[in-house]
A and B are shown apart, each in its own frame.
Chain A
Amino acid sequence: MTNTSKPIVKVEDVGMSFDTKSGKFIALRDINLNIHEGEVITLIGHSGCGKSTLLNLIAGLTLPSSGVMICNGREISGPGPERAVVFQNHSLLPWLTCFDNVMLAVERVFAQKEGRDKLKARTKAALEMVHMDHAMHKYPHEISGGMKQRVGIARAFAMEPKILLMDEPFGALDALTRASLQDELIGVMAKTGATVVMVTHDVDEAVLLSDRVVMMTNGPAATIGEILEVKLEKPRNRLQLAHDPRFAAYRASILEFLYQKQLKKAA
Chain B
Amino acid sequence: MTAAASMNPAPLAEAASPTVKNVSAVATEITKTDAMNDTTPATPAAAVATARYSAGEIITSVLKKVLPPVVGFALLIGIWAIVASRTQGFPGPVEVWHAAVEIFSDPFYRNGPNDQGIGWNILSSLQRVGIGFGFAALVGIPMGFAIGRFDFLNRALDPIISLLRPVSPLAWLPIGLLVFKKADPAATWTIFICSIWPMIINTAVGVTRVPQDYMNVARVLNLSEFKIITKILFPAVLPYMLTGIRLSIGTAWLVIVAAEMLTGGVGIGFWVWDEWNNLKVEHIVIAIFVIGIVGLLLEQMLLLIAKKFSYGNT
Interchain CB contact under 8 A, B34 and A91: no
**What residues of A have a CB within 8 angstroms of the CB of B30 in the complex?**
145, 172
Interchain CB contact under 8 A, A145 and B214: no
A174 beta carbon closer than 8 Å to chain B: yes
Chain B, range 202-246, C-beta contacts under 8 Å to A: 213-214, 216-217, 219-223, 227, 231-232, 235-236
Q: How far is the CA of A89 from the CA of B38 in the complex (A)?
A: 16
Q: Pick the contact of B33: A78, A84, A105, A144 (CB < 8 A).
A: A144
Q: Interface code A76-92, partner B: CB below 8 Å = 1, 0 otherwise?
A: 00111101110101010
Known: A108-B223, A173-B34. A61 touches B311 (CB 8 A): no
Q: How far is the CA of A250 from the CA of B32 in the complex (A)?
A: 35
Chain B interface mostly: helix
A267 beta carbon closer than 8 Å to chain B: no
Closest to A105 in B: B221
**What residues of B have a CB within 8 angstroms of the CB of A2 in the complex?**
none
Interface residues on B, range: 20 to 34
Interchain CB contact under 8 A, A144 and B220: no
A255 beta carbon closer than 8 Å to chain B: no
Known: A81-B221, A96-B231, A144-B39. A91 touches B216 (CB 8 A): yes
CB distance from B26 to the nearest CB of A (A): 8
Most B CB contacts (10 A, CB to CB) among A78, A81, A108, A147 go to A108
Q: Interface code B229-265, partner A: CB below 8 Å = 1, 0 otherwise?
A: 0011001100000000000000000000000000000
Interface residues on A, range: 20 to 34
Q: Interface code B28-49, partner A: CB below 8 Å = 1, 0 otherwise?
A: 0110011111111000000000
Q: How far is the CA of A258 from the CA of B206 in the complex (A)?
A: 42
**What residues of B have a CB within 8 angstroms of the CB of A169 in the complex?**
none
Q: How far is the CA of A240 from the CA of B29 in the complex (A)?
A: 36
Q: How far is the CA of A105 from the CA of B231 in the complex (A)?
A: 12
B300 beta carbon closer than 8 Å to chain A: no
Q: Pick the contact of B38: A59, A61, A147, A159 (CB < 8 A).
A: A147
**What residues of A have a CB within 8 angstroms of the CB of B220 in the complex?**
59, 61, 79-81, 83-85
- Chain B residues with CB under 8 Å of chain A are 29-30, 33-40, 213-214, 216-217, 219-223, 227, 231-232, 235-236, 311-313
* 20 A–B contacts, CB within 8 A, in A order: A79-B220, A80-B222, A81-B220, A81-B221, A81-B222, A85-B220, A87-B216, A89-B213, A91-B216, A93-B235, A94-B311, A104-B223, A105-B221, A108-B221, A108-B222, A108-B227, A142-B312, A143-B33, A144-B37, A147-B39
